[in-house]
């Protein structure tokens, strides 16, 4: 079981899909980002609830209609790391 | 009543006394100036604009500063409601300062539109939005397109309406710099130019008068159709390359004057605009080739 994370309490996201990519706006920072489907699904899942790393990867696979895989888990983990650096997500109290 | 209905003396008197209110696209402006070069250029370049009455969206002044500077090395100051956002300019750059100051008024104080730093021209009911950094050839391309039948919305800022996401015209003189002045004088011999100011921060600057028909149609909005990032490169063949919409969205956001101020609304507006448009990068080195490409683009609809 990995660390538990949740959306930064100051963040509020708006989403728009452009083909295989997503743009989102974070009202908390005023920043706009463009991400691929895996990163988008990862952040949307976190936005919707609180997950540990393994549960998050499983949920992302469900959302994207993909089989769970090591590559997908790595993509989810990389997304979590990126969003943490950006301050969009933060550790949740367990 | 239009600016052209005023005699030279009456225009100078009104401008000098802050008694001239004119309509420019969706805005009204009340400039005050007694500087002859500004009055002369204004008379030449704004001749077709309607005079207005009542409330002014923008009240600004171009005037010499107080003190000995006025005599030793003449300078001018721009002020907006008492605020002075720029340093003093040499007096012979007063007219460019008028235009840059007017741009500043719109970009700094207007949030009833999403404002993108881009030129915009229309044909067949669809607007071609041309964002571009200085030196990209945006204004030169705009002047060339207008001379070949595209309607000028703006050479500096594309206004996106909150309702309907239409592009709103604000046709004002096209600012050309350095070599572009001679290029357009040759490409469009009928174009009417204001006086050229030399040695400005942008080099030599001159402004091209908006066609009368485009001033008269300033109330006609249109839908965004294309977003094209131009890039002038000497000798380059004209090539239009499709551009990803997400990257276009991000680039437009960074080219917008008030995207962050509008926040979530700005995001929704910009996404709507990008969704509706075909997006391209455009490299060109020859105006005739460039015009031909945009003609084909507009014919495809």
Contact by Cβ (8 Å): B20, B14: yes
**Count of structural domains within chain A:** 1
The overall average pLDDT reported for chain A is 91
Taking the CA of residue B270 and the nearest CA in chain A, the distance in Å comes to 10
Mean pLDDT score, B146-165: 97
Contact by Cβ (8 Å): B138, B230: yes
Please check whether residue A65 touches B, CB under 8 A.
no
Q: Does the beta-carbon distance from B244 to A25 stay under 8 Å?
A: no
Distance CA B81, CA B83 (A): 6
Cα separation values, B279 from A5, B134, B168, Å:
37, 20, 20
Q: What is the pLDDT of residue B72?
A: 67
Contact by Cβ (8 Å): B25, B52: no
Q: What is the pLDDT of residue B15?
A: 97
Contact by Cβ (8 Å): B198, B204: yes
Identify which of A22, A23, A27 has the shortest CB distance to residue B264.
Answer: A27
pLDDT band at A54 (very low <50, low <70, confident <90, very high): confident
Q: Which residue of A has its CA nearest to B249?
A: A23
The answer as to whether A82 is a domain residue is: yes
Identify which of B246, B253, B264 has the shortest CB distance to residue A18.
Answer: B246
Contact by Cβ (8 Å): B255, B116: yes
pLDDT band at B96 (very low <50, low <70, confident <90, very high): very high
The answer as to whether A28 is a domain residue is: no
The DSSP annotation for B207-255 comes to EEPPPHHHHHTTT--BEEEEEEEEEE-TTPPPEEEE--HHHHHHHHHHT
Chain B residues lying within 8 Å of A34, measured CB to CB? 246-247, 249-250
* Assembly ipTM: 0.91
The answer as to whether A19 is a domain residue is: no
The overall average pLDDT reported for chain B is 95
Contact by Cβ (8 Å): B266, A23: no
**For B213-248, what is each residue's pLDDT tens digit?**
999 999 999 999 999 999 999 999 999 999 999 999
β-strand pairing of B278-284 with B223-232: parallel
Q: Does the beta-carbon distance from A34 to B246 stay under 8 Å?
A: yes
pLDDT band at B70 (very low <50, low <70, confident <90, very high): low
pLDDT at B49 over 50: yes
pLDDT at A2 over 60: no
The answer as to whether A31 is a domain residue is: no
Q: What is the pLDDT of residue B279?
A: 97
pLDDT at A3 over 70: no
Q: Does the beta-carbon distance from B249 to A19 stay under 8 Å?
A: no
Judged by DSSP in three states, B174 sits in strand
Question: Which token pair is B278?
Answer: 């075909």
Taking the CA of residue B271 and the nearest CA in chain A, the distance in Å comes to 7
The answer as to whether A50 is a domain residue is: yes
Mean pLDDT score, B110-133: 96
Predicted TM-score of the model (pTM): 0.94
Q: Does the beta-carbon distance from B249 to A22 stay under 8 Å?
A: no
The answer as to whether A63 is a domain residue is: yes
pLDDT at B57 over 90: yes
Judged by DSSP in three states, B187 sits in helix
Q: Does the beta-carbon distance from A23 to B263 stay under 8 Å?
A: no
The answer as to whether A17 is a domain residue is: no
**Residue A47, domain extent:** 5-10+37-91
Cα-only R_g, chain A: 12
User: How far is it between the farthest Cα atoms of chain B?
Assistant: 61
Chain A residues lying within 8 Å of B247, measured CB to CB? 34
Mean pLDDT score, A22-37: 96
Q: What is the pLDDT of residue B257?
A: 96
Distance CA B139, CA B133 (A): 10
The answer as to whether A80 is a domain residue is: yes
Q: What is the pLDDT of residue B69?
A: 62
Q: What is the pLDDT of residue A1?
A: 45
């Amino acid at each position: 079981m990995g660390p538990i994370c949740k959306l930064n309490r100051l963040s509020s996201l708006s989403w728009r899909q452009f083909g295989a990519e997503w743009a989102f706006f974070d009202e908390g920072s005023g920043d706009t980002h463009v991400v691929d489907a895996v990163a988008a699904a990862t952040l949307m899942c976190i936005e919707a609830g609180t997950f540990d790393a393994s549960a998050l990867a499983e949920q992302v696979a469900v959302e994207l209609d993909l089989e769970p895989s090591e590559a997908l888990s790595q993509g989810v983990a990389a997304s979590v790391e990126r969003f943490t650096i950006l301050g969009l997500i933060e550790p949740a109290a367990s | 009543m239009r600016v052209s209905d005023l005699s030279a003396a009456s225009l100078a008197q009104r401008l000098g006394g802050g008694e001239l209110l004119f309509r420019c696209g969706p805005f009204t402006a009340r400039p005050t100036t007694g500087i002859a070069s500004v009055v002369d250029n204004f008379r030449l370049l704004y001749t077709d604009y309607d005079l207005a009455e009542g409330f002014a969206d923008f009240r600004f002044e171009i005037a010499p500063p107080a003190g000995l500077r006025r005599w030793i090395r003449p300078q001018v100051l721009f002020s907006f409601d008492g605020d002075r956002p720029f340093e003093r300019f040499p007096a012979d750059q007063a007219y460019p300062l008028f235009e840059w100051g007017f741009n500043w008024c719109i970009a700094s104080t207007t949030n009833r539109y999403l404002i993108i730093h881009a030129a915009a021209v229309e044909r067949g009911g669809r607007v071609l939005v041309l964002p571009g950094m200085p030196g990209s050839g945006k204004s030169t391309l705009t002047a060339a397109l207008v001379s070949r039948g595209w309607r000028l919305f703006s050479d500096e800022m594309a206004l996106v309406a909150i309702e309907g996401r239409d592009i709103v015209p604000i046709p004002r003189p096209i600012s050309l710099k350095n070599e572009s002045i001679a290029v357009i004088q040759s490409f469009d011999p009928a174009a009417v130019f204001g006086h050229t100011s030399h040695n400005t921060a942008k080099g030599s600057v001159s402004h091209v008068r908006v066609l009368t028909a485009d001033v008269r149609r300033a109330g006609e909005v249109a839908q965004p159709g294309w977003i094209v990032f131009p890039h002038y490169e000497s000798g380059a063949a004209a090539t239009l390359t499709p551009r990803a919409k997400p990257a276009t969205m991000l680039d437009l956001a960074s080219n917008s004057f008030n995207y962050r101020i509008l926040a979530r609304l700005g995001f929704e507006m910009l996404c709507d605009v990008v969704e509706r448009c075909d997006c391209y990068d455009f490299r060109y080195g020859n105006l005739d080739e460039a015009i031909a490409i945009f003609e084909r683009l507009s014919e495809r609809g």
